């Protein structure tokens, strides 16, 4: 019978040991970072993504509901983060509606689920328009939204604190 050297016996014992377990510390770190990221980025109020967009100020009675968002600054019209048209091009048109916006809104409406009875839900849109936008452009936006089937149009504003002296 062959006798094994001490080194061979050590290697044999090392090979018999079970494989190392799952390292949970790294996994917990990843999930902690993920939770903080989600907490920071989850907000009930929608914020304008453009630095050049300055919303008007007003007193609000109720916060805006979750709806399709159209951002309008002095350069472009953006629907759900996607640029649709240039403002300079739209101002020069004599048409009462914006064709590219109507097409995009109809596409967005087709992606929304239907109600239980098969009818589409009442479509709502929120306009985040710069305070310097001319009313003629806002009118075109509202006409385009209405043409695409979005009957509920809201204007986003920066909420001012309620004046407690004017309320009963």
In a domain, 47, yes or no: no
Residues facing 92 on adjacent strands: none
Residue range of the domain that includes 98: 57-159
pTM for this structure? Answer: 0.56
Pairing of strands 57-58, 82-86: unpaired
DSSP three-state, residue 107: helix
- Per-position DSSP letters for 121-133, written without gaps between them: PPPEEEEEE-TT-
Q: Quote the number of domains for the chain.
A: 2
Q: Are residues 79 and 129 in the same domain?
A: yes
Q: Are residues 154 and 86 in the same domain?
A: yes
Alpha helical stretches, state H, the chain:
6-16, 24-41, 87-91, 99-111, 135-147
- What is the predicted pLDDT for the residue at 165? 47
Q: What percent of the chain is modeled with pLDDT above 90?
A: 2
Asked if residue 53 lies in contact with residue 128, where contact means CB atoms within 8 angstroms, the answer is: yes
Q: Is the pLDDT of residue 65 over 70?
A: no
> Which of 17-26, 35-44, 95-104, 113-122 has the highest average model confidence (pLDDT)?
95-104
């Amino acid at each position: 019978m062959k006798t094994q050297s001490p080194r061979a016996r050590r290697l044999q014992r090392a090979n018999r040991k079970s494989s190392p377990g799952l390292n949970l510390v790294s996994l917990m770190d990843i999930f902690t970072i993920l939770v903080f990221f989600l907490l920071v980025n989850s907000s009930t109020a929608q914020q304008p993504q453009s630095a050049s967009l300055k919303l008007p100020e007003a007193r609000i009675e109720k916060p805006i509901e979750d709806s399709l968002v159209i951002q309008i600054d002095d350069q472009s019209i953006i629907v759900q983060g996607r640029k649709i048209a240039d403002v300079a091009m739209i101002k020069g048109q004599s048409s009462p509606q914006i064709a590219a916006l109507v097409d995009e809104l109809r596409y967005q409406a087709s992606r929304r689920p239907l109600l239980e009875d098969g009818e589409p839900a009442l479509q709502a849109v929120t306009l985040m328009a710069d305070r310097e936008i001319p009313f003629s452009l806002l009118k075109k936006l509202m006409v385009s939204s209405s043409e695409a089937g979005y009957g509920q149009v809201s204007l986003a504003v920066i909420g001012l604190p309620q004046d407690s002296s004017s309320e009963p």
